[in-house]
Chain A
Amino acid sequence: EAQVTQNPRYLITVTGKKLTVTCSQNMNHEYMSWYRQDPGLGLRQIYYSMNVEVTDKGDVPEGYKVSRKEKRNFPLILESPSPNQTSLYFCASSLSPDRVNEQFFGPGTRLTVL
């Protein structure tokens, strides 16, 4: 089954404790992206990747890091989480950047930073 998986689905942590949210897709997609969803703000792009070893900042990259060492994986790293990073996070992938509207979205990771 074609899918985007994220782990963990739920995470409660404390300020400053490094964490990683994993994202994996099994569709051989080139393009992957991370979004955060906040009430009243919709989805905002954090980082995206056009292909392996190619990543770029989205609209709200501060406080986040990503890597793309393999095509299928695109982990999101919070080196020193803060309460303003409490949010619902979605990973997404598409075959190529020009098919971004056909993105497959993961189920989401709800992060709470205390």
Chain B
Amino acid sequence: GNSVTQMEGPVTLSEEAFLTINCTYTATGYPSLFWYVQYPGEGLQLLLKATKADDKGSNKGFEATYRKETTSFHLEKGSVQVSDSAVYFCALNAGGTSYGKLTFGQGTILTVHP
């Protein structure tokens, strides 16, 4: 079946530090890959996406590249801010028999200190 594995958290950084949150996946076919962000007390919001191999998704200074050879979609940001403190979820949509279905990783809590 389809699955998503994220790096263990929580992650604690100082403002302006470099961020990487690892994400690897297992899926049949050619899934689309996503990162979602959940701010405290809110629902999830789509942060960025990539629909085919070597695509780079980017938004709000965050980037992730779809690497088919390593089945990975790591999230990066060059300089984090306190306002980036949130829970980040990697997810995939495999299509086919999984039409209309998202599979989520376990989430990574990010805390950024001033």
A contact set with B: CB distance below 8 Å: 4, 31, 37, 40-45, 48, 50, 58, 90, 92, 97-98, 100-108
Q: Is B29 an interface residue (CB 8 A)?
A: no
Q: Sort chain B's interface into a size bin.
A: 20 to 34
Query: What secondary structure prevails in chain B residues at the interface with A?
Result: strand
B contact set with A: CB distance below 8 Å: 4, 6, 32, 34, 41-46, 49, 89, 91, 93, 99-102, 104-107
Asked if A42 and B34 sit within 8 Å, CB to CB, the answer is no
- Given known contacts A107-B43, A108-B43, is B106 in contact with A40 (CB within 8 Å)? yes
Chain A contacts for B32, CB-based, 8 A: 101
In the A-B complex, the 9 residue pairs with the smallest Cβ-Cβ separation, listed nearest first, are A105-B43, A97-B100, A42-B104, A42-B106, A43-B104, A105-B44, A42-B107, A100-B100, A101-B34
- Indicate which residue in B6, B41, B43 contacts A92 across the interface (CB closer than 8 Å): B43
Add 19 more A-B contacts to A43-B102, A101-B49 (CB < 8 A): A31-B100, A37-B107, A42-B89, A42-B107, A43-B44, A43-B104, A45-B101, A50-B100, A58-B101, A90-B44, A97-B99, A97-B100, A100-B101, A101-B93, A103-B102, A105-B43, A105-B44, A108-B41, A108-B42
Chain A contacts for B34, CB-based, 8 A: 101
